[in-house]
Amino acid sequence: MFSAKDFIETAEGLLFAVVGQGREDDKVLCFLRYIKRDSVWKKVATEEANEFLQQYHPDFLHYSQMLDAHLHAVAIHQIVKHHQPEQRLQEIMLASERDPVEHDLYVLCDLFQQHGLDLSNTGITGSILVGVQNRNSDIDIVCYSRAVFQQCRSITCKLIGLGFLQDLNEQDWQESYLRRSCDLDFADYVWHEQRKTNKAIINGRKFDLSCSDMRGCDNTAPEPVNYKKCGAITLQCKVVDDTYAFDYPALFSIDYEQIDAIVSYTATYTGQAVNGEVVEVSGQLEQTETGLKRIVVGSSREAEGEYIKVIRA
């Protein structure tokens, strides 16, 4: 099974981040993140990734009927290595030697274990998953059940209170904000992020907690359906169900005429609102053949001009 947060590698020296659960047309939906050049992995931004594939590997460019979106996809037979977060984390925890980034990850996970966490439903994604981390790399922990994710958040708060972890400082938030390039001002970004309690600092290194596509794991979501884009939309609405707010993609059920939900494919807006809050959302309106409507935030990788923000009194 291929899941969001996994990475897949091809014989051409390309590393793709998996962005969807399962397959489409016997291909894995993904996005190019690293290219091997002179035996060194180079991280690439969205535009560079698209241009590179257009020029050298157009067969990896893909239009998803299900998502009505252009992204990347790799056929199963073209995958030479499947990088899985759970396996990689266990390798690091059992290793006899670790680099500084892996050491900080080990210490963090050991603290989690000391406070009751079972690591079997967690993994490590991002640069550490594929072994391309550097001394400035963050730690990206992924949880494979909502219960485990909530437990990790709770333990993180406890460990901050005990002094084993630290809250992000002003500089940390500035760096995080610049990396996100989101359509919120800095003050709004920090206000929303601080209350999510899914980020902290260990030994001067930031870590993030996230959830994989758990609706596919516990069968609480409907089968995938095809959506067609209807154009950009901005509106205000009330969130009435935040059960899947931290999933990938994040889903917020809303109380609004003929529109059922907001879906976010960008990490910036996971956990952005809770039940009863009124939000302003800007994204792409999509509709199924049966008339089901939703607003998608993150229809492109950068989600320019798209956002979710709580309307504060």
Q: Is 305 left (phi over 0), alpha (psi -120 to 50) or beta?
A: left
The secondary structure of residue 292, as a DSSP letter, is -
pLDDT of residue 304: 79
150-20-24 Cα angle (round to 5): 150
Sign of CA dihedral 246, 21, 60, 89: positive
Q: Which residues are 261's β-sheet partners? A: 253, 294
pLDDT of residue 224: 62
The kind and range of the H/E element at 289 are none
pLDDT of residue 223: 57
pLDDT of residue 131: 96
Helix (H, G, I), strand (E, B) or coil at 125: strand
Alpha helices, DSSP H only, in 163-268?
170-180, 186-194, 215-218
The CA distance from 100 to 70, in Å, is 38
Residue count of the chain, please give it: 313
Averaged pLDDT, groups of 10, the chain, 313 residues long: 93 94 87 95 94 97 86 96 97 97 98 97 97 95 95 98 97 92 93 97 97 55 72 97 94 96 94 98 94 88 84 87
pLDDT of residue 221: 38
Report the predicted TM-score, pTM, of the whole model to 2 decimal places.
Answer: 0.90
> Which residue intervals of the chain bear CATH 2.40.50.140?
220-310
pLDDT of residue 68: 80
pLDDT of residue 259: 96
Radius of gyration of the chain (CA): 19
Q: Tell me which CATH homologous superfamily contains domain 220-310.
A: Nucleic acid-binding proteins (2.40.50.140)
199-180-18 Cα angle (round to 5): 85
Work out the end-to-end distance of the chain between its first and last CA atoms, rounded to an integer number of angstroms: 45
Q: Which position has the token pair 């923000």?
A: 309
Q: Which long-range contacts (CB under 8 A, 24 or more apart) does 167-174 make?
A: 167/200, 167/201, 168/199, 168/200, 168/201, 168/206, 169/201, 172/201, 172/206
pLDDT of residue 218: 42
Structure tokens at 91: 């390798």
Cis ω for the linkage preceding 85 (within 30 of 0): no
